[in-house]
Amino acid sequence: MRNPFARALALAVIVLFLGGMMLRSDDMDVRRAIITTAKNAKQSLTSQRPLNEPELYTPVANVKPETNTTNTTNTSATALSPGTTEPIVSHTMTCDYDMERLKTWQQKYELQPKFEYTKRYLQISRQDIQRKSVTKLSQKFLPGKAKVVNVGKTYKPETCPEPLNVPVTKSPYPSTANASDFIFGVSTTYKRFNNPATSSINEWTYWLTDSQGNSNGGKLILMLLDASDAELMDAYERLTKVGIDVDVYQSDPTMEMAVRYLTLVPTLYNHPDRKGRKWIVTCDDDTFFPSFHALTERLEQYDHESPLYIGTFSEDVNNIDRHGSQAFGGAGVFLSVPLAKMVKENYESCKAEDKIKEANSGWGPQGDILLRKCIYENSETRLSLINDLWQLDLWGDPSGFYESGIKPLSLHHYRGGGWHIALPWHYTKIAHICGEDCTLQRFRTADDFVISTGFSVAQYPKGINFDLNQFERTFTAAPEDKGWNLDFKLGPQRQSLRGTGRKLSWDLQESTVNQDGTVTQVYVRKSGDQRWKTDTGAPMSKMDGLIELVWMP
């Protein structure tokens, strides 16, 4: 058969048939395995390139730098020898007004026909230094006043100011992460997988591949509810084409949701690709790991040969009081193989009807509770906390979290639906040329702008006379906010600057890794944003604003 998809389907059917003869029903408690391990088939599939694949990072060593631009200033990084992991780039700064592109942004983000526009270059300087919560720069963000552009006019090119020199740590790049110690399990619906607003393909591409179409060694087991055979195959093909090593199974629709979650553990443990791995990980389809090297290093501190249950609490003590003291699954739950074996051996009793009833916290049976009860009632293992994992049970404006300068090991609840909305796939593109530590790192300029890399650019026109090391309380706990719900995890938070006239912020809307090895970020501020008003209710600016940052390695 010359068609690779036909070969894949044939191999999948053969493996399914053999697996059905070899595996007992209690070894793989799923209704039907549509896709199983078939390495030859995957090699055929991953060699194909999709027509509508997500944007992938192109190694800058394989592309040509820009040349011959009008009225420009030259700045180039030193070329490195072949085989190095450092980007090789030669970029020419240009500060002309690309009106077609500005018109596109004006329409896309529904900006006023006249808006403030600032383009700023940043020169990355990777050094042997520690990552700081906030790094002070001696330069100003705005050497002059912000420019006002009218999309109906044209403008003469201008000379670029000197780039902001940004010192950062020599942290590893996402493309070099090795996730071969991990096998991940996610249970979701095909509808969520297929909907562009909730699909996780881009995010999974970041932390399960080298972003160049190759797996980083991590294995994903995807359990899809309400999916036809064709939809299961569609999910498999789309994920393997971007380099994700995945097997796709159909979830049992007769199971309680909490049981489907618990079922991930024996499914992962019994999977043939589990052998040789250290960690069995359950997480949600909106769980994101922004710094996989750091995550791996943290887990290396634990003895994976011991029965271990690792995760974090909700940030909200109300949720701990309501649901109990266990790992909250959206932040990621890490089980050592010995503990997963114990769960597998007790699976039937752990999902008994009385256990399901006991896992009902008043909000329906909870998978996190069912897993905790299975572990606590059948072993002496108790939860080990990693506080840099984040459940993010926060409502409202998430700026105070993402602008805090922390280095999170996981993110969650960023797709709205009652929770906050964030764009972690775009936030982390800077890591491809700057290193993982750069994501969400803060830089304070001499004129009191703070760049929270990948999330926002904030101006403090009355100065910064508060503690930047404290979270700004732009968010609330849910559903009951007592004012101190979040303090045990976040510490006491400083007062929000919303509506005080002391803060004006541009939020990231898109980020692009360019062919010349630079990264372009687009930040937008709307004049009607209720956050950016004075204490009298007047808007701090009557004009929309757009900031374009170009990062040069």
* Three-class SS state of 536: coil
> What is the per-residue pLDDT for 86?
62
Q: In the chain, what is the greatest distance between 2 CA atoms, to the nearest angstrom?
A: 74
- Sequence letter at residue 37: T
Residue-wise pLDDT tens digits, 481-511: 999 999 999 999 999 999 999 999 999 999 9
Query: Alpha helix locations (H) across 86-139?
Result: 99-108
Q: 């071969």: which residue's tokens?
A: 180
542 token code pair? 């009557």
> What is the per-residue pLDDT for 36?
43
> What is the per-residue pLDDT for 89?
59
- Sequence letter at residue 89: V
> What is the per-residue pLDDT for 17?
43
> What is the per-residue pLDDT for 3?
44
Q: Cβ contacts of residue 243 below 8 Å, gap of 6+?
A: 46, 205, 208, 209, 210, 212, 213, 214, 215
> CA nearest 260: which of 233, 287, 221?
221
Low-confidence ranges of the chain (pLDDT < 50): 1-84
* Three-class SS state of 506: strand
Query: Alpha helix locations (H) across 365-430?
Result: 367-376, 399-402, 424-427
Residue-wise pLDDT tens digits, 109-133: 999 999 999 999 999 999 999 999 9
Counting every residue written for the chain, the total comes to: 553
Q: 């990948």: which residue's tokens?
A: 454
| Strands laid side by side in the 383-385 sheet | 32-33, 245-250, 219-225, 182-189, 279-283, 333-336, 309-311, 383-385
390 token code pair? 């984040």
Helices (H) and strands (E) in the chain, counts: 17, 22
Q: Please tell me what DSSP assigns to residue 35.
A: S
> What is the per-residue pLDDT for 144?
87
Residue 310 vs residues 74, 98, 178, 190: alpha-carbon distances, Å = 50, 50, 20, 28
> What is the per-residue pLDDT for 418?
87
